[in-house]
Chain A
């Protein structure tokens, strides 16, 4: 299958290893990956902060960039949720019903990574090897907007060498929330304190999730605490093999 990678702006600029891991994983499963160099951002940060017009410019760009794609895969639950769930509503708010129709037409071809692997490709064992103790945090948008359910867990359970530890209060938000984390830093930090405490109580070396924005938040907290625990994107674990370690 020819897969168009929508990497997302934050992964492109700050977490290129997640992009490399996603490419590696999809190619190992026998697919051809295309990265359209025109792509940038889904507009989520703009929309969620209240800048609707800026956001819709970026949604329009996304639609133009990926119009001809057969299948689009993104290693980010919240960016996929932005395009599939929020963008059509936001276009409607601004009275741009043409954009709404176009983004709705594109939406069924856009998948979050775990959703694509488990739901579309029907694969749970991707041949990964990752000999570490890991706990999994389900991110809010993947869980409550995309309803990916236990797809990420099904993938993680098949990883050889890995000990998967259950996270208490897993379904509670880590407190990131995009610009919420800087505009309401005290409440955000209070939420993060509970999340990092639960992670450390598992005894895991690393916390994984399907979204680097949440992991940037959790990882930033774990590092500030000098906890020794760290974060790794789901794609990094799934791409890792005995010969090649992605994180």
Chain B
């Protein structure tokens, strides 16, 4: 996996993940725990549904007036002593950060957890110019030290266990002696390592959860306090933010301060919320750059139905309730955006012609749990269905398309359907063994991989109904020889 680009289709990637016991056990435990906690945190508010609607409306208002709000944001940030950069794509954004780092001649910089920076594959680009980016979120640090990639938006190292982290820290954190697998001891070692970096590093890179157009304020919401350190101690701060994160007024943020922590960590309030507006002389970073990233977002915005995807506030509630994410894990999605939101965001950002990414809308049983959990009411199941349609149009005439079209023709009249069922009943003969079908060919082979199938019964309902109408079967047959649903 690199950035947004999946290296293989989802079904293949997922196949490798579902049989990993550690992954399955971790995911089951974490997702089930957070599901229950989130329900408690949201159900205690009688007006939760109204808050969701307000969150949806607030985001939609921003998306409807995005260009004006972005220009206002740019003017406000500049008026308060910040600099604003526009990045069309990942390459432009990387180039801007690299240029700033090289101008200040830094060899190291510290980072607040930012998926947007992972989206543009920033760390690798900085490395190529001799600048080492240090992740300061504990889980991101674990992922970075093990040359791994995050598998969850909020809990990036969800796929790791304590023993693995012990071995990793003993190998990678200098001057700590031998660490046990005690979580407090491991966290303490990371804390000492990071504290030193916070106090000695000149430049920081962050993302941004929200930005306020009218005041030029950027906001980062976090739990560990590492963000507060990065945002206040260094001399130079660069924040990279997707263009969809802008809000109009300061008051607009209040609804998200309710929606985000409760949906994300199931907390009433998150531990650290940092706001800053440009540069304040003598306090905090004295040079501030805001990079506004497009990277496919205006294409998403241009799509009347797919647009709602841009409401996302990256809470990860949809991941935690998703039965597919729970079994496949984040890496199967092949993108920095995993889970249901990733399944609709990644292919839209890349374009539906991407043959790996366009399998992502298929990574769902359409159970609908994600829509119920989404704090900004993104109708993820409907967007998934919509995108499957867009993807089918980019695949051309496949066997699947032919089969679907054939079935539609067979279903175009009742009598045609009846004939097709008769034909299938006749044709299934060689497949039926001891009253069941246990192996199917071709596209349908996936079914019999783990399930048996009842064959077509000798009489369809409509055949029975016709007989009944003709008085041949005045009553329903009682107690059939073979129990059928």
Q: In the complex the two chains form, what is the Cα distance from A8 to B477 in whole Å? A: 21
Interface check B412, CB cutoff 8 A:
yes
Q: In the complex the two chains form, what is the Cα distance from A30 to B389 in whole Å? A: 43
**Per-residue interface assignment for chain B, residues 422 to 462, with 1 indicating a CB less than 8 Å from any chain A CB and 0 otherwise:** 00100000000000101000011111011111101101111
Q: In the complex the two chains form, what is the Cα distance from A243 to B365 in whole Å? A: 39
Q: Which of B305, B369, B479 contacts A93 (CB 8 A)?
A: B305
Interface check B190, CB cutoff 8 A:
no
The binding surface of chain A is classed by DSSP as helix
**Per-residue interface assignment for chain B, residues 302 to 344, with 1 indicating a CB less than 8 Å from any chain A CB and 0 otherwise:** 0001000000000000000001100110000000000000000
Q: Which of A14, A20, A36 contacts B454 (CB 8 A)?
A: A14
Known: A86-B382, A189-B450. A184 touches B11 (CB 8 A): yes
Interface check B350, CB cutoff 8 A:
no
B476 to chain A, nearest CB (A): 5
Question: Would B462 and A181 count as touching, CB distance under 8 A?
Answer: no
Interface check B414, CB cutoff 8 A:
yes
Interface check A101, CB cutoff 8 A:
no
Known: A49-B392, A236-B485. A13 touches B404 (CB 8 A): no
Q: Which of B389, B411, B445, B453 contacts A40 (CB 8 A)?
A: B411
Instruction: Give every chain B residue within 8 A of A57 (Cβ-Cβ).
Output: 408, 412
Instruction: Give every chain B residue within 8 A of A105 (Cβ-Cβ).
Output: none
Most chain B CB within a 10 A radius of its CB, from A47, A180, A219: A180
Instruction: Give every chain B residue within 8 A of A247 (Cβ-Cβ).
Output: 483-485
Q: Which of A21, A90, A173, A243 contacts B369 (CB 8 A)?
A: A173
A135 to chain B, nearest CB (A): 15
Interface size of A by Cβ–Cβ distance < 8 Å? 82
Question: Would B485 and A182 count as touching, CB distance under 8 A?
Answer: no
B325 to chain A, nearest CB (A): 10
Q: Which of A50, A183, A191 contacts B323 (CB 8 A)?
A: A191
Question: Would B485 and A184 count as touching, CB distance under 8 A?
Answer: no
Question: Would B363 and A144 count as touching, CB distance under 8 A?
Answer: no
Q: Which residues in chain B, 9-37, are within 8 Å of chain A measured between CB atoms?
A: 10-11, 14-15, 18, 24
Question: Would A12 and B327 count as touching, CB distance under 8 A?
Answer: no
Q: Which residues in chain A, 84-121, are within 8 Å of chain B measured between CB atoms?
A: 86, 89-90, 93
Interface check B72, CB cutoff 8 A:
no
Interface check B102, CB cutoff 8 A:
no
Instruction: Give every chain B residue within 8 A of A224 (Cβ-Cβ).
Output: 438, 450-452
Instruction: Give every chain A residue within 8 A of B85 (Cβ-Cβ).
Output: none
Interface check B253, CB cutoff 8 A:
no
Question: Would A40 and B412 count as touching, CB distance under 8 A?
Answer: yes
Q: Please classify how large the interface on chain B is, using the bins under 10, 10 to 19, 20 to 34, 35 or more.
A: 35 or more
Nearest B-chain residue to A8, judged by Cβ: B461
The binding surface of chain B is classed by DSSP as helix
Q: In the complex the two chains form, what is the Cα distance from A233 to B404 in whole Å? A: 27
Question: Would A186 and B14 count as touching, CB distance under 8 A?
Answer: yes
**Per-residue interface assignment for chain B, residues 352 to 391, with 1 indicating a CB less than 8 Å from any chain A CB and 0 otherwise:** 0000000000111111110110000000001001101111
Instruction: Give every chain A residue within 8 A of B392 (Cβ-Cβ).
Output: 49-52
Q: In the complex the two chains form, what is the Cα distance from A236 to B4 in whole Å? A: 48
Question: Would B453 and A54 count as touching, CB distance under 8 A?
Answer: no
Q: In the complex the two chains form, what is the Cα distance from A86 to B386 in whole Å? A: 10
Known: A15-B484, A186-B18. A144 touches B367 (CB 8 A): yes
Q: In the complex the two chains form, what is the Cα distance from A186 to B24 in whole Å? A: 13
Interface check B400, CB cutoff 8 A:
yes
Interface check B421, CB cutoff 8 A:
yes
Known: A40-B411, A220-B447. A54 touches B405 (CB 8 A): yes
Nearest B-chain residue to A220, judged by Cβ: B451
Q: Which of A16, A38, A236 contacts B457 (CB 8 A)?
A: A16
Q: In the complex the two chains form, what is the Cα distance from A38 to B405 in whole Å? A: 19
Interface check A11, CB cutoff 8 A:
yes
Interface check B174, CB cutoff 8 A:
no
Question: Would B453 and A220 count as touching, CB distance under 8 A?
Answer: yes
Interface check A175, CB cutoff 8 A:
yes
Instruction: Give every chain B residue within 8 A of A183 (Cβ-Cβ).
Output: 11, 362, 446
Known: A17-B484, A230-B483. A37 touches B465 (CB 8 A): yes
Other than the given A20-B477, A144-B367, A145-B368, 12 more pairs (CB < 8 A) read A12-B461, A13-B461, A15-B485, A54-B407, A173-B323, A177-B365, A180-B366, A182-B444, A185-B446, A189-B451, A192-B450, A220-B447
Measuring CB to CB, which residues of chain B are less than 8 angstroms from any residue of chain A? 10-11, 14-15, 18, 24, 305, 323-324, 327-328, 362-369, 371-372, 382, 385-386, 388-392, 400-401, 404-405, 407-408, 411-415, 417, 421, 424, 436, 438, 443-447, 449-454, 456-457, 459-462, 464-466, 476-480, 483-485
**A–B pairs, 16, beta carbons within 8 Å:** A12-B421, A15-B457, A16-B459, A46-B408, A52-B392, A184-B10, A185-B447, A185-B450, A188-B450, A191-B324, A217-B451, A219-B485, A220-B453, A224-B450, A232-B485, A245-B478
- Top 8 nearest A-B pairs (CB, nearest first) are A177-B365, A220-B451, A50-B392, A185-B446, A50-B388, A182-B446, A173-B367, A144-B368
